[in-house]
Each structure stands twice: as C-alpha cells, then as structure tokens.
Amino acid sequence: MPFSRKSLARGLCDAGGAAAVEFAFVFPVALIFFCGLLAYGLYFGAAHSVQQLAADAARASVGGLDDAERAAIVNAHIAASGGNYPLLSADRISVTAQALAADPSQFEVRVAFDSRDLPIWVLQGLVPLPRKTIERAAIIKRGGY
C-alpha cells in the first residue's frame, strides 16, 4: 500500500495550497466588481457633466428676450462649452431648448449625449451597463419680471 493512514491524514490537514484555491475563486469576482466600479464611475462622471452642461446653458438663457433668442443663447453656450468637459465630445451632444408646455413661464433645456465613445462599452458582456444615451434636463424661470 503506497499511502499510509498517517500520510493521508497529513495530506488532508495540509493548508499550504488553500490560499491559491481561494484566490482562484475570489479573483474573477473581484475583477468583475472592479471593472463594474470603473465603468459606472466613468458613466456617472459623464452623466454629471451632461447635467452640469444643461444647467449652465439654462442659466445662460435667462438673458434672452424671447424663446428664439434663449434657444440661440443655449445653442451658442453648448457649442462653446461642450468640448470643455473631459468625458464629453462636442459632436455627440444634442440639445433642445423651449418653453415648458405645462408652464410657459419656465424654460427647459434638454441635453442628450451619445456615450458610445466612452471606453466602458468594452466591458458590456462582463458587467450590466446602462443606456448609451445620457439625457438630462434643466428648467429655469424666465427672466424679466
């Protein structure tokens, strides 16, 4: 008999490779977790930039005398400031600016960003990701009381 009870008991109690086995189980889960953390961090950063751009454009529109001038101010602000955010590219930004239908005394600026150029979409099969279009709006009272 090549194995004795003593050597078998010693082999069963040996914990020398336990760390390697635990690492083999934990590493893929930790890697997916950190990839998801990185992807959502970039996505939330881009979403915050879109919201900030919409809010800045809405604040800039207060100086307009009518809806057409406000929309022109918003479009000029988006064209001038859209490329200043590191996660946004100006050619992927679209904007609509109009009076709010429910309350004409308020003006709405809606900014949409196509986030297909962000590097997070490489991880699409690995982690669940949100929609590729980020859309945010800002509503502001008209000036000239």
Looking at the domain assignment, is residue 84 inside a domain? yes
Total domains in the chain come to: 1
Query: Would residue 50 count as lying in a domain?
Result: yes
Q: Is residue 4 part of a domain?
A: no
Pair of tokens at residue 11: 């082999």
Whether 1 maps to a domain, the answer reads no
Percent of the chain with pLDDT over 70: 87
pLDDT (tens digit, 9 = 90+) per residue, 52-101? 999 999 999 998 889 999 999 999 999 999 889 999 999 999 999 999 98
Domain of 22 in residue numbering reads as 18-141
> Does 57 fall in a domain?
yes
Asked whether residue 73 is domain-assigned, the answer is yes
